[in-house]
Amino acid sequence: MTIRDHASHASHASHADHADHLDSVSLDAIDRYWRAANYLAAGQIYLRDNALLHRTLEPSDIKPRLLGHWGTSPGLNFVHAHLNRLIKEHELDLITVLGPGHGGPAALACSWLDGTYTDHYPDVTRDEAGMNKLFAAFSAPGGVPSHIAANVPGSIHEGGELGYSLAHAFGAAFDNPDLIVACVVGDGEAETGPLATSWQSVRFLNPARDGAVLPILHLNGYKIANPTVLDRIPREQLDGLLASQGWDPRWVFGDDPHAMHHKMAEAMDSALATIRRIQNVKRNPKAADNGVPPWPVIILHTPKGWTGPRTVDGVQIEGTFRSHQVPLTGVRENPQHRHMLADWMKSYQPGELFDHFGRPKPEILACVPDRDQRIGANRHANGGVLTRTLDLPPIDAYAVPVAKPGETEHEPTRVLGTWLRDIIAADAPHGTFRLFGPDETASNHLDDVFDVTNRVWTLPTKATDDHLAPDGRVMEVLSEHLCQGWLEGYLLTGRHGLFSCYEAFIHIVDSMLNQHVKWLKTARALPWRAPVPSLNYLLTSHVWRQDHNGFSHQDPGFLDHVANKTADVVRLYLPPDANTLLFVAEHCLNSRDLVNVIVAGKNPSPDWLSPEDAALHCARGLGIWDWAGTEDEFASEPDVVLACAGDVPTLEVLAASQLLREHLPGLRIRVVNVVDLMRLQPESEHPHGLPDTQFDAIFTVDQPVIFAFHGYPSLVHRLTYRRHGHANLHVRGYKEQGTTTTPFDMLVRNDMDRFKLVCDVIDRVPGLAPRAAAVRQAMADARTRHQGWIVEHGEDLPEIREWKWTS
Amino acid sequence: MTIRDHASHASHASHADHADHLDSVSLDAIDRYWRAANYLAAGQIYLRDNALLHRTLEPSDIKPRLLGHWGTSPGLNFVHAHLNRLIKEHELDLITVLGPGHGGPAALACSWLDGTYTDHYPDVTRDEAGMNKLFAAFSAPGGVPSHIAANVPGSIHEGGELGYSLAHAFGAAFDNPDLIVACVVGDGEAETGPLATSWQSVRFLNPARDGAVLPILHLNGYKIANPTVLDRIPREQLDGLLASQGWDPRWVFGDDPHAMHHKMAEAMDSALATIRRIQNVKRNPKAADNGVPPWPVIILHTPKGWTGPRTVDGVQIEGTFRSHQVPLTGVRENPQHRHMLADWMKSYQPGELFDHFGRPKPEILACVPDRDQRIGANRHANGGVLTRTLDLPPIDAYAVPVAKPGETEHEPTRVLGTWLRDIIAADAPHGTFRLFGPDETASNHLDDVFDVTNRVWTLPTKATDDHLAPDGRVMEVLSEHLCQGWLEGYLLTGRHGLFSCYEAFIHIVDSMLNQHVKWLKTARALPWRAPVPSLNYLLTSHVWRQDHNGFSHQDPGFLDHVANKTADVVRLYLPPDANTLLFVAEHCLNSRDLVNVIVAGKNPSPDWLSPEDAALHCARGLGIWDWAGTEDEFASEPDVVLACAGDVPTLEVLAASQLLREHLPGLRIRVVNVVDLMRLQPESEHPHGLPDTQFDAIFTVDQPVIFAFHGYPSLVHRLTYRRHGHANLHVRGYKEQGTTTTPFDMLVRNDMDRFKLVCDVIDRVPGLAPRAAAVRQAMADARTRHQGWIVEHGEDLPEIREWKWTS
**Dihedral in degrees, nearest 10, Cα atoms B63, B67, B73, B76:** -120
User: CB distance from A336 to chain B under 8 Å?
Assistant: no
Q: For chain A, say whether B314 makes contact (Cβ under 8 Å).
A: no
Pairwise CA distance, residues A717 & A712, whole Å:
10
Q: Is the pLDDT of residue A14 over 50?
A: no
Q: Tell me the CA distances in angstroms from B747 to B269, B739, B780, B800, one per residue in order.
A: 63, 11, 14, 12
Dmax (CA) for chain A in angstroms is 101
Q: How far is CA A391 from CA A454, A496, B345, B534, in A?
A: 20, 11, 53, 53
CATH code of B639-801, in short, is 3.40.50.920
Selecting from B145, B224, B244 the residue whose C-beta is nearest the C-beta of A739 gives B145
For B656-682, what is each residue's pLDDT tens digit?
999 999 999 999 999 999 999 999 999
Residues in A touching B142 (Cβ below 8 Å): 741, 790-791
For chain A, the average pLDDT equals 94
**Residues 193-232 of chain A whose Cβ lies under 8 A from any Cβ of chain B:** 193-198, 200, 203, 223-229, 232
Contact A48 B145 (CB under 8 A): no
DSSP B491: H
- CB neighbours of residue B710 within 10 Å: 30
Contact B536, B499 (CB under 8 A): yes
CATH number of the domain at A387-605, out of 1.20.1340.10, 3.40.50.970, 2.30.40.10, 3.40.50.11030? Answer: 3.40.50.970
Q: What is the CATH number assigned to the segment(s) B392-605? A: 3.40.50.970
B685–chain A Cβ distance below 8 A for any pair: no
Flag if A457 and B147 touch (Cβ within 8 Å). Answer: no
Residue of B nearest to A550 (CA): B145
Interval B605-645: pLDDT, tens: 999 999 999 999 999 999 999 999 997 766 678 999 999 99
Task: Give the number of other CB atoms < 10 A from CB of residue B597.
Answer: 25
pLDDT-based confidence at residue A656 (cuts at 50, 70, 90): very high
* Among candidate residues A157, A222, A221, A204, the one with its CA nearest the CA of residue A184: A157
Where are the CATH 3.40.50.920 domain residues in chain B?
639-801
User: Is residue B441 classed as helix, strand or coil in its secondary structure?
Assistant: coil
B17: confidence class by pLDDT, cuts 50, 70, 90: very low
Task: Report the pLDDT value the prediction gives residue A8, as an integer from 0 to 100.
Answer: 38
- What is the predicted pLDDT for the residue at A633? 63
User: Which ranges in chain A are annotated with CATH 3.40.50.970?
Assistant: 2-9+26-385, 387-605
Number of H helices, E strands in chain B: 28, 22
For residue A799, give the 3-state DSSP assignment.
helix
pTM of this prediction exceeds 0.95? yes
Distance (Å, whole) CA B578 – CA A566: 33
Query: pLDDT for A176-202, tens place per residue?
Result: 999 999 999 999 999 999 999 999 999
Domain ranges in chain B with CATH number 3.40.50.970: 24-382, 392-605
Separation of first and last alpha carbons in chain A: 86
Per DSSP, helices labelled H in B97-139 are 104-113, 116-120, 128-137
pLDDT at B21: 76
pLDDT at B12 > cutoff 60: no
Cα dihedral B353, B359, B363, B365 in deg (nearest 10): 120
- What are A476-506's pLDDT values in tens digits? 999 999 999 999 999 999 999 999 999 999 9
Identify the residue with better confidence: A181 or B15. A181
Say yes or no to pLDDT of A20 above 90.
no
| Phi, psi dihedrals of residue B93, rounded to the nearest 5° | -100, 105
d(CA B651, CA A620): 45
pLDDT score of A634: 63
* Alpha carbon distance A3, A486 (integer Å): 39
Q: For residue A232, list chain B residues with Cβ-Cβ distance below 8 A.
A: 459-461
Percent of chain B with pLDDT over 70: 97
B301 at A interface, C-beta within 8 A:
no
pLDDT tens by residue, B330-364 = 999 999 999 999 999 999 999 999 999 999 999 99
* Residue A308 scores a pLDDT above 80: yes
B516 in A contact zone (CB under 8 Å): no
Tell me where in chain A the CATH 3.40.50.920 domain(s) lie.
623-801
Q: Find, among B422, B414, B435, B413, the residue nearest to B391 by Cα.
A: B422
Q: Give the nearest chain B residue to A325 (CA atoms).
A: B548
Instruction: Enumerate the residues of chain B whose CB falls inside 8 A of the CB of residue A203.
Output: 229, 233
Report the residue of B236, B462, B464 to disrupt the A interface, i.e. the one with the largest count of A CBs within 10 Å: B464
Is the pLDDT reported for residue B11 higher than 70? no
Chain B touched by A329 (CB under 8 Å)? no
Helices A257-283 and A24-46, axial angle in degrees (round to 10) = 110
How many other C-beta atoms can be found within 10 angstroms of the C-beta atom of residue B631? 16
- Is B190 within 8 Å of B241 (Cβ atoms)? no
CB contact under 8 A, A740 and B316: no
Q: How far is B747 from chain A (nearest CA, A)?
A: 13
Beta bridge partners of B295: B247
Q: In three state form, how does the secondary structure of A776-798 look?
A: HHHHHHHHHHHHHHHHHHCCCCH
Position B643: which residue type?
A
Q: Is-contact A27 A42, C-beta < 8 A?
A: no
Please name the residues between 729 and 768 in chain A that touch chain B, using a CB distance below 8 Å: 736, 738-742, 745
The whole-angstrom separation of Cα A101 and Cα B245 is 26
- Judged by a CB distance cut-off of 8 A, whether residue A510 touches chain B is yes
What span, in angstroms and rounded, lies between the C-alpha atoms of B191 and A768? 57
How far is Cα A417 from Cα A450, in angstroms, rounded to an integer?
9
Whole-angstrom distance, CA of residue B59 vs CA of residue A114: 76
pLDDT value, residue B721:
87
Considering only CB atoms, which chain B residues are within 8 Å of A565?
736
Cβ–Cβ < 8 Å for A45, A336? no
Which residue in A433, A737, A392, A450 sits closest to A583, CA to CA? A392
User: What is the pLDDT confidence band of residue A39, given thresholds at 50, 70 and 90?
Assistant: very high
Percent of all residues in chain A with a pLDDT value above 90, rounded to a whole number: 89
CB–CB of B195/B162 below 8 Å? yes
The DSSP string of A571-602 is EEE---SHHHHHHHHHHHHH-BS-EEEEE---
CA B112 centroid distance within chain:
27
pLDDT at position B455 is 97
Q: What is the length of chain B?
A: 807
- B24-382 placed in CATH 3.40.190.10: no
Is A727:A536 a contact under the CB 8 Å cutoff? no
**Quick one: closest CA in B to A565, which residue?**
B736
- DSSP letters of A728-793? GEEEE---S---S--HHHHHHHTT-SHHHHHHHHHHHSTTHHHHTHHHHHHHHHHHHHHHHHHHHH
- Whether chain A has a CB inside 8 Å of the CB on B255: the answer is no
Helix (H, G, I), strand (E, B) or coil at B530: coil
Compare all CA atoms of chain B with the CA of A294 and give the residue at the minimum distance: B237
Query: Residue B318, exposed/middle/buried by CB under 10 A (0-12, 13-18, 19+)?
Result: buried
Counted across chains A and B, CB pairs separated by less than 8 A come out at 362
The CB-side HSE value for A316 (13 A sphere, CA atoms) comes to 12
Cβ of B147 and A552 within 8 Å?
yes
- Would you say B550 and A515 are in contact if contact means Cβ atoms under 8 Å apart? no
For residue B373, the SS3 value is helix
Scanning every residue of chain B, which has its alpha carbon at the shortest distance from the alpha carbon of A148? B552
Topology of the domain covering A2-9+26-385: Rossmann fold (3.40.50)
Residue A807 has pLDDT above 80, yes or no: no
Mean pLDDT over A686-692 rounds to 93
Q: Where are the alpha helices (DSSP H) in A149-301?
A: 165-173, 193-198, 229-232, 235-243, 257-283
Based on its alpha-carbon atoms, the radius of gyration of chain B, rounded to whole angstroms, reads: 31
Q: Rounded to whole angstroms, how far apart are CA atoms A430 and A409? A: 35
Q: B20 to chain A nearest CA, in Å?
A: 34
Partner-chain contact A478 B718, CB within 8 Å: no
Q: What is the mean pLDDT of residues B481-508?
A: 97
Candidates B165, B177, B148; CA nearest to B218 is B165
Q: List phi, psi (to 5°) of A537.
A: -105, 135
Residue A117 DSSP code: H
Which contiguous run of DSSP H or E holds residue A426? Answer: helix A412-427
Rounded mean pLDDT, B539-561: 90
Q: How many CB atoms lie within 10 A of CB A294?
A: 18
Residue B41: which H helix or E strand, with range?
helix B24-46
The CATH number of A623-801 is: 3.40.50.920
A291: pLDDT strictly greater than 90: no
If we measure between CA atoms, which residue out of A250, A167, A184, A177 comes closest to residue A212? A177
Angle, alpha carbons B641-B643-B647 (nearest 5°): 150
- Give the span between the Cα atoms of B170 and B473, in whole angstroms: 14
